[in-house]
Amino acid sequence: MPRSSKAPRAAWNSQFGFLMSAAGSAVGLGNIWKFPYIAGMNGGGFFVLFYLVCIFLVALPVMIAEIFIGQTSKSNAVHAFCQIEGRKSWWRLGGILGVLATVLIMSFYSAVGGWIFFFLHQSISNFAAFSSLDGVEKLFSQITDRFELGLAYQAVFILTSFSIVAGGVSSGIERLNKMLIPALVMIILLLLGYASQLPGFAKAWQFMFDFDLTHFSTTGMLEAVGHSFFTVSAGVGIMITYGSYLQSDAKIAPIAGVIVVVDTLIALASGMIIFSIVFSQNAAISSGPTLIFKTLPLLFSQIQMGQAVAILFFMLVTFTALTSSVSLVEVPVAYLVDKGISRNTSLGILLVVVSLLGTLCSLSFGSVSLFVWFGHTFFDWCDLLSSRVLLPVSGLLFVCFFGYKMDSHRPFEQIYRSIWVRRLMKFATCIVAPVAIIAIGMMGII
């Protein structure tokens, strides 16, 4: 549908700004708390190689499809399909599910974002509390059980994200990412330099990169596919939305290539940093919230320059969370703005919805089990519904629309110059990616 608002559509100031913002969305908690763990547990080097193939054959095609849909339609994740087809298109269902997913993801992401802010604060002002397992566990239960504390930090996270998006596409989102992504890379390099001096570095290398075929399984393969899809933030329309602010003549393939390379290098470097610390102290490997809010804080108290490392680490995690959350907020905002609602009103509506759902997510923890349905809390439901249902269905619709319905735009001819690359990517887009998404969707892997 044509946009009803008269104001000129927002745009990135530069292609570099788009690159930083898209990389900011892609680099998230998954790079830090999931990838290193699944890589190590599934046999290291061979898994990493297989993952690279998945990035190339599944993640990249979906990402390029989304960016192209956005760039061509200059419209939000829902209306893009109608704009391209020139009528009310049922393909917009993918966009609607994507918008829903961003709202649900933002709701539980903001709870975790609040915990991250809290731990950053503690690493600066109360580092002594990290010195025993008991102390660390108390901190974590403080933030999850004491609702007013959890909600206060969550509110700070939500308000920070919303006020950045309120600044607009180029002076809010782009400016933030142009600052935070280079800062994040600097922190990674500093921590990597530090980790390389630790006794556990060689073992971390072995864990992440040595070829150990005995630990490589079919489940591991599916995990690689699922994570490759998740790590580029595919399937929620972020790349459609961000792509719609991109100049029409920008070359998508090289930009998307750089984004996945940056994302992968950051995931690999995080793994080396985390496991060098873990193995230096002979600690047990872990992933997810346990890794970030328990294992690592305790280890920071045991290593040299621990407080500096802790502060840098939590800054890193804060930056990855913020650059991802602004992308989550922008998807529904772009949809409402294109419907003719002002940016501020759209943000206001969304703020109410996210605050309500986000509160229910936070209340899922602690002793109150008011919100448990079929054994899962509200927090779990937001996570499960978005990652197991909405993401795969939308991702599948996006990639199929691009691969099968955009013929008149000759997308492959426009994007890929070399005929061989074009053939390969056509095969990846039309066959490999859809089959892979159906497989991981049915297995509930993402």
Q: Which residues bind ligand TRP (CB under 6 A)?
A: 25-26, 28-31, 105, 230-231, 233, 236, 238, 324, 327-328
Q: Given the complex with ligand TRP, which of 21 and 89 has the nearer CB atom? A: 21
**Least distance in angstroms from the C-beta of 128 to ligand TRP:** 31
**Least distance in angstroms from the C-beta of 236 to ligand TRP:** 5
Residue nearest to ligand TRP (CB): 28
Distance CA 78, CA 240 (A): 9
**Least distance in angstroms from the C-beta of 388 to ligand TRP:** 13
**Least distance in angstroms from the C-beta of 186 to ligand TRP:** 20
Q: What are phi and psi of 52, to 5 degrees?
A: -60, -40
Q: Given the complex with ligand TRP, which of 29 and 255 has the nearer CB atom? A: 29
Q: Given the complex with ligand TRP, which of 62 and 198 has the nearer CB atom? A: 62
Distance CA 85, CA 90 (A): 10
Distance CA 436, CA 297 (A): 37
Segment (H or E) for 372: strand 372-373
Q: Which two tokens stand for residue 224?
A: 């690689």
Q: Given the complex with ligand TRP, which of 151 and 267 has the nearer CB atom? A: 267
Q: How far is CA 91 from the centre of its chain?
A: 24
Segment (H or E) for 94: helix 92-125
Q: Given the complex with ligand TRP, which of 71 and 233 has the nearer CB atom? A: 233
**Which value, to the nearest 10 degrees, does the dihedral of the CA atoms of residues 391, 397, 398, 402 take?**
160
**Least distance in angstroms from the C-beta of 127 to ligand TRP:** 27
**Least distance in angstroms from the C-beta of 366 to ligand TRP:** 25
Question: What residue type is assigned to position 231 of the chain?
Answer: T
Q: What angle do CA 436, 49, 313 make, to 5 degrees?
A: 100
Q: Given the complex with ligand TRP, which of 230 and 401 has the nearer CB atom? A: 230
Q: What is the DSSP letter of 79?
A: H
